[in-house]
């Protein structure tokens, strides 16, 4: 009996020590990474003023367009403090939005040459996935669970406006695209992402400083709904999290607005730089938001309380 009691006490003590260690580690991590506190994570000047298109792959690497010069794509390895050259688009092409599908393919919107490029997983050579002379200047991308791409296509010249493209993969592996119809005249379409269930498309408009929601029905944008508008400062890229919140870059305001699906403003996250262009979720648990900064031409990041939609799309077990 005495031996059994000793073993019980020893096991209990070990369990308590493990629990205390976990608790201390959690407290330490919480102290190191407070939520919604942003800090610069790369040197200033790594990118051009066209810094944009952040996207994270399934291994946690972050990719951003216009590294050192226009047309390059930079790669910030997980945990690294400096970006490296990943690849370059063909001469004359300049990337903007980047997205990854579940198979690890990278898609890049090329606003100069009216292309969407694809780079296969494990490769660095871009090939044309979809091209159209009807593009104004493909800007940002959103990707659905089945690999369907949605591309914002703004027209900044007068008369200002824009359109949304729906691009699906054909049997030959090439993209097949069409302009989506809408009962509402679209503004200068910019940031774009899907709701967690994939049924709603959110689009920010630069000229109106508004975010709109549309119900998707094939190539139709139905039931337009104003989610939220702002009285000042241009709106840019956006992303959604698994709970349906919209994270919106407010260019020149120096903030990321966190908006509930019903349009209420939950919070605004102050940033180190004053000109955020876009953002992406990443990190080992999908709860790190990476922000591209035109002012200073660097990347900053902050922790949040829920994972993004895209990390959960790529790695469902994470969520």
What's the pLDDT at 14?
A: 44
The Cβ of residue 91 has, within 10 Å, a number of other Cβ atoms equal to 7
Spatial contact of 246 and 193, defined as CB atoms under 8 Å apart:
yes
pLDDT tens readout for residues 214-227: 999 999 999 999 99
pTM of the model: 0.90
Q: What is the pLDDT of residues 123-144, one digit of tens each?
A: 999 999 999 999 999 999 999 9
pLDDT for the residue 160: 87
Binning pLDDT at 50, 70 and 90, where does residue 315 land? confident
Q: What is the mean pLDDT of the segment spanning 57-74?
A: 98
Q: How confident is the model at residue 18 (pLDDT cuts 50, 70, 90)?
A: very low
Q: 19-62 pLDDT, tens per residue?
A: 444 343 433 344 468 999 999 999 999 999 999 999 999 999 99
At 318 the pLDDT is 78
pLDDT in the model for residue 106 = 98
Distance of CA 289 to the CA centre of its chain: 8
Percent of the chain with pLDDT over 90: 87
Instruction: Give the span between the Cα atoms of 301 and 3, in whole angstroms.
Output: 53
Domain 41-318, CATH class in plain words? mainly beta
* Angle value at C-alpha 167, between 165 and 170, nearest 5 degrees: 155
- CA atoms within a 13 Å half-sphere pointing along the CA-CB vector of 203: 35
Residue 317 has a pLDDT of 83
Residue 3 φ then ψ, to 5°: -65, -40
Where residue 233 falls among pLDDT bands split at 50, 70, 90? very high
Q: Supply the pLDDT for residue 32.
A: 65
Q: Are the C-beta atoms of residues 292 and 98 closer than 8 Å to each other?
A: no
pLDDT (0 to 100) of residue 316: 86
| Higher pLDDT among residues 32 and 229, named by residue | 229
Instruction: Look at 18-22, 227-231, 261-265, 282-286 and tell me which has the smallest mean pLDDT.
Output: 18-22
> Edge-to-edge strands of the sheet including 62-67?
47-56, 62-67, 72-76, 84-88
201 has pLDDT over 80: yes
Q: How far is CA 276 from CA 251, 273, 296, in A?
A: 5, 7, 10
* Averaged pLDDT for residues 86-114: 98
């Amino acid at each position: 009996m005495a031996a059994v009691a000793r073993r019980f006490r020893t096991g209990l003590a070990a369990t308590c020590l493990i629990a205390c260690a976990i608790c201390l580690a959690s407290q330490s991590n919480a102290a190191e990474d407070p939520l919604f506190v942003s800090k610069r994570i790369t040197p200033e000047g790594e990118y051009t003023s066209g810094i944009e298109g952040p996207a994270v792959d399934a291994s946690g690497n972050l990719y951003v367009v216009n590294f050192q010069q226009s047309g390059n794509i930079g790669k910030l390895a997980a945990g690294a403090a400096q970006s490296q050259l990943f690849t370059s688009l063909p001469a004359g092409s300049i990337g903007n939005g980047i997205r990854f599908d579940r198979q690890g393919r990278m898609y890049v919107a090329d606003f100069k040459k009216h292309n969407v490029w694809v780079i296969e997983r494990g490769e660095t050579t871009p090939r044309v996935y979809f091209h159209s002379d009807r593009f104004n200047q493909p800007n940002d991308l959103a990707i659905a669970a089945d690999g369907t791409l949605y591309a914002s296509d703004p027209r900044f010249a007068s008369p200002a406006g824009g359109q949304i493209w729906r691009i699906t993969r054909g049997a030959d592996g090439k993209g097949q695209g069409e302009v989506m119809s809408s009962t509402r005249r679209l503004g200068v379409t910019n940031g774009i992402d899907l709701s967690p269930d994939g049924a709603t498309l959110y689009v920010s408009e630069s000229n109106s400083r508004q975010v709109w929601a549309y119900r998707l029905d094939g190539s139709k944008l139905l039931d337009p709904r104003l989610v939220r508008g702002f009285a000042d400062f241009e709106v840019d890229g956006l992303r959604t999290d698994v709970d349906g919140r919209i994270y919106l870059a407010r260019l020149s305001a120096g903030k990321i607005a966190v908006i509930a699906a019903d349009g209420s403003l939950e919070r605004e996250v102050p940033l180190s730089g004053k000109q955020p262009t876009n953002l992406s979720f990443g990190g080992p648990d999908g709860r790190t938001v990476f922000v591209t900064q035109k002012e200073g031409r660097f990347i900053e990041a902050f922790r949040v309380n829920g994972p993004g939609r895209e990390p959960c799309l790529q790695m469902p077990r994470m969520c």
